[in-house]
A and B are shown apart, each in its own frame.
Chain A
Amino acid sequence: MAEALTLSLLIGISVGVSAGYLGSLMVLKKMALVGDALSHVALPGLALGILFNFNPFFGAFAFLFASAVIIWHLGRVTKLPFETIVGAMFTVALAVGILLIPEPDLLEALFGDITKVTILETVVAVVISVMAVLLTKMIYRKLVLGMISEELAISKGIDVSRTNLLYLLLVSLVVAVGIKIVGTLLVGFLVIVPAAAAKNVSADLSKYAVLSASFGTVSTCSGILFSSYLNLPTGPLVVFSGIIVFLATVLVKWKAE
C-alpha cells in the first residue's frame, strides 16, 4: 500500500512538473485546447494495447507521437490553425478508441488509474518527464520568441518550424504519461489549468514557468493523497485540487488589481 502510494506520488510529481512546465508554453501559444484534444488521440493506441495484449501506454505513446508529426506537417502544408487540425483528428480518434476499447477497460482509459502503477512505469514516467523538461528548457526562449514574432525569431537564426515540432513531440510524451494518472479525458487539465493559474500571478517568464510546474505538482500530489485517504478516483480529485489552486490565484490577481 505504502509502496503503491510512493510510486503514485513519484509519477504525480513527474507529471505535475512536466505537464505544468510544458503547459505554460501551450497556454502562451493559445493552444491550450490543443493540449487537451491531443490527449484523446491516444485512445486508439490504448485500444490496440488492450486488444493485442501489450502495455497500452506504449500504444498511446506511438499514436501521440505520430499525431504530433501529422499535425505539425499538415499545419505547415495547409497553413490551417493547429486547433482545426487537432479538432478534426481528436474526434475521429475518440470515436475509433471508444469503438475498439473493451467496455471494462474503457473507464480506466478515459479516467486513468494510478493505483495499478508498476515500478517500470514509474521509472519510465520519471525519465520521460525529466527529459521533456530539460529539452523544453533548452528551447523555451526560442519558442517564446517565435510567439512574440515569428519573423524576429527567424531573423535571429531560429528554425521556428522544427522547434515547434520538437515541442509538440515532447507534449505528446508528457500527455501519454499523464494519461496514467488522470486518463485521456482529464489529462488536458494538467496542461492547461496550472499554467493558467501561474499566469494569473506572474510578471515574468521564469516565475511563470516555475509556478506553472509547481502548481501542476501540487495538483497531482494533493489529488493522489486525497484519493488514497478518501478511497475515491484519483483523476477527479487531481482536477479539484488544481481548480482550488486556480481559484486562489484568481483571488490574488483580483486583490492585486
Chain B
Amino acid sequence: MYESEPKRVIFLIDNKSFYASVEAVARGYNPLKTILVVMSEQANTNGGLILATSPLAKKLYGLQANVSRQRDLPDEKHLLVVPPRMNLYIKRNLQINDIFRRFVADEDLWPYSIDESILDLTHSWRLFGDSPLAVAKLIQRTVRKELGLYTTIGIGENPVQAKIALDVYAKKSPDLIGTISYQTVPDKIWTITNLTSVWSIADRTAAHLNRLGIHTMYELAHANPYLLKAEMGIIGTQLFALAWGIDRTKLAKRVKVRSSSIGNSQVLPRDYAIQSEIELVIKEIGEQVAARLRHHHKQTSCISLGIGFSYAASEEAGRGGFSHSLRIEATNRNDELIAALLLLFRRYWQGEVIRNVAVYTSRLSADAGEQLTLLTPIAEQVHKSDLARTVDALRTKFGFTTVVYAKSKLRGGTAIQRASLVGGHNGGNSYE
C-alpha cells in the first residue's frame, strides 16, 4: 500500500541539550556528565528563564526540556548556572551545518531550527557507509570529534518518520539514533499512546482528538479520515496521514512565500501604564521595524500594532489585548510608520496596563522610490529620508548604540538595553 509513497533516506539531526552542551564544552566538561542550566536573567524574564538544561540536570531534578522558570529550579550546590551567549550558539549551529554539508549537497540540507537540521541522504549515503545507520554514526562521531557535541539522529523514509523517530525513539536510545520506515509504522507509530509526544500534536489538538474518542496513534490511524476532515479541517487529513507515517513533502522544492512580513515584538520588563512611556516603546519598535524594512529594500503598505495587557488588566478587561492594522501609502520612513502606529494605539487603547508590544508590517513592495507628497516641501521630504538612511549606515557600521534618540534615555525606553540581545537573550558578542 505504500508503493507510490516517496522512499528516501531522511535524517533529522538534533543537538542534545544544545545551549547547555556548548557551555559545558567551552568549560572543558563533558556535556552528558555536567549538571548545568543556561539561564537568561533579562529584566523582562521575571527572575530568570531556563533556556537549556543538560541531560544530567534534567534527570536529577526532573526539569522540563523546554523553557521553565527560575523558581522551578532547585537551589542546590552541585548545579551550575550560566548566562546564555546566543551569538556563540549561532556560530556553533553554522559549524555543525558545515559538517553536514560534507555529507549532502546544499539543496539537500535544511536547517530546521537553531539545533535541528533535516538532511536528505537518498543520493549520498552510499558514499559514506554500508547502511544509513553507519552513516548516522559517522556523522555523530564527526560532530563529537570536531565540536565536542553529541547529536541525536532520527532516520526515516520521509521527514515526518524521521521527526517522530527522533523525538520518540532516538532521544531515549543508548546510541542516540532512532529509525522508522513504512514497514515499522505499526510497531513504532501506532504504539505511541501519548499523543502530545508526536510532532504537530500539542495539548489542544490532543484534547480535540480525545473528544473524538482518539487516545492513541493506533486509534488515529484507524479513525474515519472523512470524519477527521469534517471535524478538524485539512489538519484532520494531515494527522491521519501522520498516523500512517505518510509525508509527501518534497524538501528540495522550496516553498514560495506568498506574502512576507517584517515585524518585532517585545515583552516589557514591567507593567506600563503611562501613555507617554507606552508610546515611547511603540516608537522605538516602530523605528526598528522601519530600519529593517529599509535594510531589506522594502516598503510596507499595511502596518499592525498588537498590544498585550498585563495579567491583571486582561482579567479586568476580559480580553488579553488588541491587534489592529491600517492600510497606508507604501513607505519605510520612521515618521510615517510611527504616525500610523500612534493613531492605532490612541484609537484602541482605553487606559489598560500593558506588558506586550508588537509591530508588524505586511503587503511589502520593493523600495523602488519614494512617493513625494504635494503638501510638504520636497527638500524637507528628501532630508528626512536621507537622515534615516544615514542613521542606518552609522548603526550598521558601528553598532546600534552609536546614535540613539534622546528619548530612548527617558524612563521606559528599552532600545539601548535591548541592542545587545539576540532573540531576547544575552548575545555575548562583547566577549568575543
A binds B: no
Q: Which residues of A contact B (CB under 8 A)?
A: none
Q: Which residues of B contact A (CB under 8 A)?
A: none
